[in-house]
Chain A
Amino acid sequence: MSSLLNTSRPPVFCPGCSHDRITHALDKAFLNLGFQGEDVVIVTDIGCSGLFDTFFNTHAFHGLHGRALTYATGLKMAHPELNVIVTMGDGGLGIGGAHILSACRRNLDLTLLVLNNFNFGMTGGQFSATTPLNALVGSGFLNRMERPIDVCQVASSAGAPYAKRFSSYAKNLVEEMENAIRFEGFSILDIWGICPGRYTKRNRLTPKTIEDTLAKMPSMKNPVPENLRKEYGRHYRELAAHQKPVQRPTTIERQFTPPEAGRKEVIILGSAGQRIITAGEILCLAGLAAGLQTTQKNEYNITVLRGHSITEVILSPEEIGYTGIERPDVVLALSQDGVERRRHIFENLDDQSLIILGKEIDLPPCNAEVHPIDFKALKIKPHDRALASLGILAKLSRIIHPDMLESAIKYKFRSAVLASAQDMVERAKIG
């Protein structure tokens, strides 16, 4: 077994940079774990820590600042056996905050090394999410107002089962890395280091002061007992294995001849909860049973339980181009909300158009033939009125006939729901 360091691309960090120690420690950890280059992918982002992938003869994926965990997630899901090591600075940590939190919550088996040197080194020593309030940095006074985060506390409260902080000068650095890599689940290592190129030019930080500060930090148990749980990938595959395969959609063969020739347009004007969209679908299915082409467009409020609900259905023996409806052949006016929403269409209607109207609804003046229905008297509840209106339409032999409707209902519903739908269609009487 030999080093995985890339001899043709030796590390190029500033003299005294603690990244250099981490590079060599990581290589030793790989060696101790018996990894070959193809067993590992090093995923990096931007900054000095983003150079890591080039120093190793392993798979490598280098991407955008703060986003390394996102690529790592895709890679690990695609290759569960691959050891995915992510390096990131404290800069990338802040930029990719949402990704850190969700990696902790998810617990996919990734190892994240946060090379925490308290500033954006490469770009000029600006402050990061871990810069102390009193540090002198490249962002002027701005860091004095923003509290640094404790990476491990944030991670463990977000659910990371393994979150450890230590110094890049720790004697057991290699062992710490090995343990984290071996851990099956998301592990995040907050590795404190020194950036002589930028940070320690104006701030005092030595291996000793790092050690002293770390000693004063709240201690943490690792693995974090309350966060121990199934690894995400394993869990995902377990649950996925229980998902039922989806059948390819079944086709409806032409069995009937429609009662009327040519393109027909229907608008159903209702309210949320009236099963307007389902009624529209049934109308489409009835059309398919007569070999017609069809389109259905829906309109409803974002708050789905309130306000208007409208569906527009076209049935045609020819291919349907334009899917809008200017002058519907039939309007089912089932709620005042729906009618108000499409007030303008009524003036387009002539005596060829039919309106099936809930008796209590006010209609704008129009020339259409109107069939008022007293749904209340028929004991048809609001949520059944759209379906019942299709029953009326079928009985009038307008656009569909009862056999088309019956076949659509049978296609759409099963058992009890089917029986009640059939009952509803039956109960609907022409007023």
Chain B
Amino acid sequence: MGFCLMEGNEAMAWGAVDSGCRFFAGYPITPATTIFNALLKLLPPLGGICLQGEDEIASIGYCLGASMGGLKVMTATSGPGISLYSEHISFAIGSEIPIVIVDVQRLGPSTGSATRGADGDIQFLRWGNSGGLPVIVLAPVDVKDCYSLTVEAFNLAEEFRCPVFIASNKEIAMTRENIDMDAFGIPRIIDRSSPPPGRPFIPFEVPSDSRTPYFLPIGGRTIVRQTSSTHGPDGYITTDSDEIAGIQDRLNTKLLSAVAEFSFHESFPEEDADTLLLAYGITGRAGRDAYNALKKSGKPVSLLILKTLWPVPEELIREKAGPVNRVVVVEMNLGQYVREIERILPDKKIDFLGRMDGKLITPRQIEEVVFDV
């Protein structure tokens, strides 16, 4: 066994390529630029396409076109770009276009601090679309996750025909780390499913055993319609309110009902613990250090590191919080995901530790909050 040295962004590029991604379009923006740099080297020799858009709106627009052309696509940006993606994110949700979107978060608001990390977009990723339908958001903790969650992101985008976000952070994306690339093996790859042959293709018709429509590419031998407007199964505008209600309900439940299948996390339960530490992203690592230190000093806490943030893995959180009376939520913002925890655990005491100054939350800070009951 050996290691190589790689930053999170580069690991994501490899994860994308190994998942079958063959189209990337992006726009240079710190701290996401090195994803574009890496894919510009990786994709063309594989027959893939890597484009620099004239702006972020164009970059994600290219991706939506290419995805409907049948390619697996990815784009990557940071806060200012993710804001510009918004209208196309809504499009991808409503019109079920598979796409992986990386948000390498920087300290906001707005152009903020390009080279300082934060997890300040966590609610924005969920709600930054018109219509408010759910999305999938995964959050890597380290360089290994940057690889493996990218693979998961592609699989989920294909399986559910939806945008999947990876909520990275400058502190993971641009930090180099040891990684054992061979340890991943050959990833399990999911492709969007084609309809069974011998029947007329209806672009948004859903098989009886699934909530996700079959996919055929625009440009193939069967005519395919795609539209950003509210549409019926045939892909034409509909004004029938029952039909509309049915579609909205399907878009809502196709993800909410399935989150238990992809509730990625790391859990460290301690039998005698009365407190559960809950963290995600780069902060999960300080959480792990704090957990170890507290255990050593005979004041154990349980630890849950979430890697699926949206839809909220409610079942998982309730289960892990079951044995404790108190949950301490730690995140690199002024309190975003803690709202979800308060919502789903109304009977627990919820404490919060946040920081938004470009500095990492330290294990010591976490220990202090846990002690100071």
**A residues in contact (CB < 8 Å) with B:** 9, 37-38, 41, 43, 53-54, 57-64, 67, 69-79, 81-82, 98-99, 101-102, 236, 239-240, 243-246, 248-254, 281, 284-285, 287-288, 292-299, 302, 320-324, 326
Taken together as a complex, chains A and B put the C-alpha atoms of A251 and B1 apart, in Å, by 8
Q: How far apart sit A98 and B2, CA to CA, in the bound complex (Å)?
A: 47
Chain B interface residue count, Cβ-Cβ cutoff 8 angstroms: 78
User: A288–B178 contact, CB under 8 A?
Assistant: yes
State the Cβ distance, A107 to closest chain B Cβ, in Å.
14
Query: B362 contacts which of A41, A295, A324 (Cβ < 8 Å)?
Result: A324
- Binary contact track B1-36/A, C-beta < 8 Å → 1, others 0: 111111000000010000000010100001000000
CB of A9 within 8 A of CB of B363, answer no
In the complex, the chain A residue whose C-beta lies closest to that of B174 is: A298
Any A CB within 8 A of the CB of B240: no
Interface contact B175-A251, CB-CB below 8 Å: no
Given contacts A98-B58, A302-B114, contact A62 B175 (CB under 8 A): no
Which residues of the other chain, A, contact B114 by a CB distance below 8 angstroms? 302
Main secondary structure of the interface of B (DSSP, over half): mixed
Q: Is B220 an interface residue (CB 8 A)?
A: yes
Please state if A250 and B69 are interface contacts (CB–CB under 8 Å): no
Contacting pair B70 A78 (CB below 8 A): yes
Q: Once the chains bind, are B67 and A74 in contact (CB under 8 Å)?
A: yes
Flag if A245 contacts B45 (CB, 8 Å): yes
Q: Which residues of A lie under 8 Å from residue B60 when comparing CB positions?
A: 70
- 10 A-B pairs with CB atoms under 8 Å apart are A37-B223, A43-B65, A61-B65, A77-B69, A78-B66, A78-B219, A244-B45, A251-B2, A288-B178, A321-B363
Kindly state whether residue B41 has any CB partner on chain A within 8 Å: yes
Chain B residues with Cβ below 8 Å from A76 are: 65
Residue of B nearest to A408 (CB): B5
A-B contacts besides A78-B219, A249-B181, A284-B5, 14 pairs, CB < 8 Å: A61-B65, A63-B91, A64-B228, A67-B57, A70-B53, A70-B58, A71-B68, A76-B65, A77-B23, A77-B66, A240-B45, A245-B46, A250-B4, A323-B282
The residue on A at minimum CB distance from B143 is A295
User: 8 Å CB contacts to A: which residues of B62-111?
Assistant: 62-71, 73, 87-88, 91
For B5, B23, B25, B60, which residue has the most chain A Cβ atoms within 10 angstroms? B5
> Which residues from chain A contact B193 at a C-beta distance below 8 Å?
none
Check A79 against B219 for contact (C-beta < 8 Å): yes
Which stretch (B160-168, B269-277, B283-291, B306-314) binds chain A? B283-291
Is B49 touching A236 in the complex (CB atoms < 8 A)?
Answer: yes
Q: Give the nearest-CB partner of B43 in chain A.
A: A240
CA distance A53 to B226 in the complex (A): 10
Inter-chain CA distance A350–B359, complex, in Å, is: 24
Contact: A71 with B61, CB < 8 Å?
yes
Minimum distance in angstroms from A43 CB to a CB of chain B: 8
Q: Known contacts A102-B54, A243-B45; is A60 also within 8 Å of B226 by CB? A: yes
Residues of A contacting B62 in the complex (Cβ-Cβ under 8 angstroms)? 70-71, 73-74, 77
Cβ A75 vs Cβ B363 within 8 A: no
A9 to B234, CA, bound (A): 13
Residue B218 lies at the interface, judged by CB distance under 8 Å to chain A: yes
A59, A102, A254, A324: the one contacting B224 at CB < 8 Å is A59
Of the candidates B91, B175, B223, which one forms a contact with A296 in the assembled complex, judged by CB atoms under 8 Å apart? Answer: B175
Whether A284 contacts B236 by the Cβ 8 Å rule is no
Q: How far is the CA of A411 from the CA of B242 in the complex (A)?
A: 65
Q: In angstroms, how far is the closest chain B Cβ from the Cβ of A275? A: 15
1/0 per residue, CB under 8 A from A, across B172-204: the answer is 001111101110000000000000000000000
What 8 pairs between A and B have smallest CB-CB spacing? A74-B65, A70-B61, A78-B69, A251-B2, A79-B219, A74-B66, A240-B44, A71-B65
